[in-house]
Amino acid sequence: MSLTIYENFAVKAEVLSERYGATVQISFSTKSIHGLSRIGSDPYSVLDKDAYGITVDAETFCGRNVLEYHGVKAGGKVFDTDAAAERFAAFIRDCKRSSVHLCAMRAPRLRWDTKRTDLNELMLQTGKECISACAGTGCGYIVIQPLFSGIAGADLWQENHRYYSALGKMAKQTGIQILMENQCRNTNGHLARGVCADAVVAAEWIDKLNEESGAEVFGFCLDTGACSLCRQDMGEMAAALGRRVKAVLVRECGGVHEASRLPFTGRNVNGQDVDWKSLVRGLRKTGFDGILIMDAGDTLKGFSHLLRPQVYPLIRSVAEYLKWQIGMEKCIREYPVRVLFGAGNMCRQYMTCYGQQYPPLFISDNNPGLWGTMVYGVEVRPPEVLKELPEGCAVIICNTFYEETARQLKALGVSQIGTFSDECLPGGMD
């Protein structure tokens, strides 16, 4: 029963974002995919290769502690990096063979609680190897963690400047963009804002490096999990970084420990633990058209492998929902003229937030009692008048009966139909 609901929603969400022509791309982290060996053929996978891309998280292949245990015997064995590299290469070959689009890669990362201060050269080397591995795969972005361990605050820029400059030269040659990512800093178990967590500083770094590179070689990947752990307002951070944000790592943490859970799953009697509305608003402001990297690995692992195929549609639906919400303002903007359908609360919300910027020609509603009345100074007219809309005019559905209303509009000959939602507007939802 629940599967049917989720599948229906997924289809609905896809239809909505398609209608809007949203340009945000969805990709799934390899951590969110069970059964990577069947990447191109598993009908129960999260991935619909025609609609979505994939983001390779190197840790899927080499483990979470590959850097941490470098040169150290772990469990009596030295970590076999060659075997990990071979697994990775085989996966890339499989993706290619199966026409799975590789959107981005996340290079191995040093743990925030690391005690190792001798690994910065190794990180540089690893970064170079990852860029090299991505070359020719169609992968557009590589997320490379900034250096932090063993570096005094005053030296962070200098050390990272050297590091990213070296990586940037190689990335430019291979046509790949390097994305920095916001980090946490561990103070004896407590996580606070680390390197690149200050949007203003991160923006300065990116701009400086791009200026020196003479091209847009650097950008930003906003890790919503790190934001949550550092108690940051994700929307404000996204807005401050602006167009530098090329990817958003979408994952929910409980706020205390690092985790990769599906958005909206952290809810209690006091409300939603993570303010996803704020993220949506922030990304809307910037006109975000990059990649949403869905990492719900821990949610997935929490379920029995027998149930996981039923979790995938929900992950997809959440991704589509976020994509739809983020792209909404941009799509409203793209219609030269518009009419709103529905004169209720959602219409009022539209008028409050967008009425001045994107005013409708008029409002249409099925209720004859409203015809001729005014809503925020705009006249309400019967649906029949929609038969004679001016060239390029779209009808924006301002009620939640999207599909029923769309059918009615099509029957009236309306070809450009958009949908509006007031869920993520200021003060909306909750």
Partner 1 sequence: MMHKLSVGVQSKNIISDDYPIEGFEMLKRAGYTCCDFSLNSYLPNTALYEHRRNDFFDQPLHKLKAFFEPHREAAQVTGVRINQMHMPYPNYVPGAPKEINEYLLKVVAPKSMEICAFFECPYIVVHGFKLAGALGSEQAEWDRTEEFLRSLAPMAKEHNITMCVENIYTDSGNHIIEGPCCDAGKAATRIDRMNAEYGVEVLGFCFDTGHANLTGLDFEAFIMTLGKRLKVLHIHDNDGIGDLHQIPYTFSRGRENKTSTDWDGFLAGLRKIEFDKVLSFETAPALSAFPDRMKREVLGFIAQIGYYFAGEVEG
In the complex, the residues that contact partner 1 under the rule CB under 8 A are: 113, 153, 184-185, 187-193, 197-198, 200, 228-233, 235-236, 239, 254-256, 266-268, 270-275, 277-278, 281, 353, 425-427
**CB within 8 A of 406, min separation 6: which ones?**
397, 417
Whose Cβ is closer to partner 1: residue 57's or residue 181's?
181
Q: Least Å distance between CB 210 and partner 1? A: 21
The rounded distance, in Å, linking the Cα atoms of 8 and 1 is 11
Q: Least Å distance between CB 152 and partner 1? A: 11
Q: Least Å distance between CB 273 and partner 1? A: 4
Alpha helices in 230-275 (DSSP H): 234-241
Asked if 51 contacts 18 with a C-beta cutoff of 8 angstroms, the reply is: no
Q: Least Å distance between CB 268 and partner 1? A: 5
Q: How many CA atoms lie within 13 A of 280 on its CB side?
A: 25
Whose Cβ is closer to partner 1: residue 21's or residue 426's?
426
Whose Cβ is closer to partner 1: residue 215's or residue 256's?
256
Q: Least Å distance between CB 282 and partner 1? A: 9
Whose Cβ is closer to partner 1: residue 112's or residue 341's?
112
The rounded distance, in Å, linking the Cα atoms of 406 and 411 is 9
Whose Cβ is closer to partner 1: residue 353's or residue 385's?
353
Phi first, then psi: give them for residue 338, nearest 5 degrees: -150, 155
Whose Cβ is closer to partner 1: residue 266's or residue 297's?
266
Q: Least Å distance between CB 3 and partner 1? A: 28
The rounded distance, in Å, linking the Cα atoms of 259 and 251 is 8
Phi first, then psi: give them for residue 394, nearest 5 degrees: -105, 155
Whose Cβ is closer to partner 1: residue 92's or residue 253's?
253
Tally Cβ neighbours within 10 Å of residue 15. Answer: 16
DSSP helix/strand/coil, 48: coil
Q: Least Å distance between CB 184 and partner 1? A: 8
Q: Least Å distance between CB 188 and partner 1? A: 4
What does each C-alpha distance from 163 to 178, 366, 382 come to in angstroms? Answer: 12, 62, 63
Asked if 342 contacts 399 with a C-beta cutoff of 8 angstroms, the reply is: yes
Q: Least Å distance between CB 284 and partner 1? A: 10
Q: Least Å distance between CB 230 and partner 1? A: 3
Whose Cβ is closer to partner 1: residue 27's or residue 145's?
145
Q: Are strands 267-268 and 271-272 parallel, antiparallel or unpaired?
A: antiparallel
DSSP helix/strand/coil, 139: coil
Q: Are strands 417-419 and 393-397 parallel, antiparallel or unpaired?
A: parallel
Whose Cβ is closer to partner 1: residue 92's or residue 230's?
230
Whose Cβ is closer to partner 1: residue 231's or residue 407's?
231
Q: Which residues pair with 270 in a beta bridge?
A: none
Asked if 139 contacts 103 with a C-beta cutoff of 8 angstroms, the reply is: yes
| DSSP-assigned letter for residue 146 | P
**CB within 8 A of 163, min separation 6: which ones?**
120, 123, 124, 127, 146, 147
Asked if 280 contacts 264 with a C-beta cutoff of 8 angstroms, the reply is: no
